Amino acid sequence: MSMLEIQNLHVSVQGREILKGINLSIAAGEIHAVMGPNGSGKSTLSYTLAGRAGYEVTAGRMMYRGEDLSALAPEERAAKGLFLALQYPVEIPGVTTMNFLKAALNAQRRARGEKEFDAINVLRLVRETAGQLKVPEEMLRRALNVGFSGGEKKRLEILQMALFKPLLAVLDETDSGLDIDALKLVADGVNALRAPDRSMLVITHYQRLLNHIVPDRVHVLADGRFVAEGGKELAHELEAKGYAGLVRDAA
């Protein structure tokens, strides 16, 4: 079954074309990695999939489980199982992490016509999942992302992913700013969520993350276009040789 089909996708931001006709197919259960230099359009791809305002699809289409994503509001995409782990998670003073997770979980359940969790069930579920991902309970009592280290913020993103159980998870440079230990913790959390009915799109600059999260396919994005794709060995080639030669050859 196809989880995501992107066909000839063109996206503009503030009148400037960023994505210039990309094609991508991800089957259920697959993990695909997108690599590329700064300014290539990687985050634009993630934001467009999530439905962020200001990212205008000018041509092409994005089909998620056979449904046109462009026709769905961001909250509808989330309720149908699309999740975006942010590169720079937002700090929200005054809102505890636990209250945020409870509100988000129940918002999704309402949208799907499911019974909401009461406070006791949410607390039990979050504590159990946080323990599995080595997220300290003290983090759950703090204001959302306020004063968190880079590693703590990224672990909290993975905790959200584990709680929401998305069918398609988009990880936008989740390894950004992580030291070796934090990277391993985040990667372990992602690998624990691999499943035959769950796909992932992992966006990263560096091959080091793909040492821990082994993708089925690697795509290289440059100047708004995919210029190469291959197996995991392509990521090792990029680590050794850099992007410059590949981008030059594709120009």
What is the structure's pLDDT at 105? 92
- Contact call for residues 169 and 191 (beta carbons, < 8 A): no
DSSP-H helix ranges across the chain: 42-50, 74-79, 97-111, 119-132, 137-141, 150-164, 180-192, 232-241, 244-250
* Mean pLDDT per 10-residue segment, the chain (251 residues): 94 96 97 91 96 96 95 94 91 94 92 90 92 88 91 88 94 82 83 92 87 92 92 84 69 55
What is the structure's pLDDT at 218? 95
What is the structure's pLDDT at 168? 97
What is the structure's pLDDT at 26? 97
What is the structure's pLDDT at 127? 93
What is the structure's pLDDT at 238? 82
C-alpha to C-alpha distance for 5 and 103, rounded to whole angstroms: 31
Q: How far is CA 29 from CA 50, 194, 218, in A?
A: 19, 7, 15
What is the structure's pLDDT at 151? 82
What's the domain count of the chain? 1
Find the domain containing 241 and state its range: 2-250
Helix (H, G, I), strand (E, B) or coil at 237: helix
- CATH, residue 41: 3.40.50.300
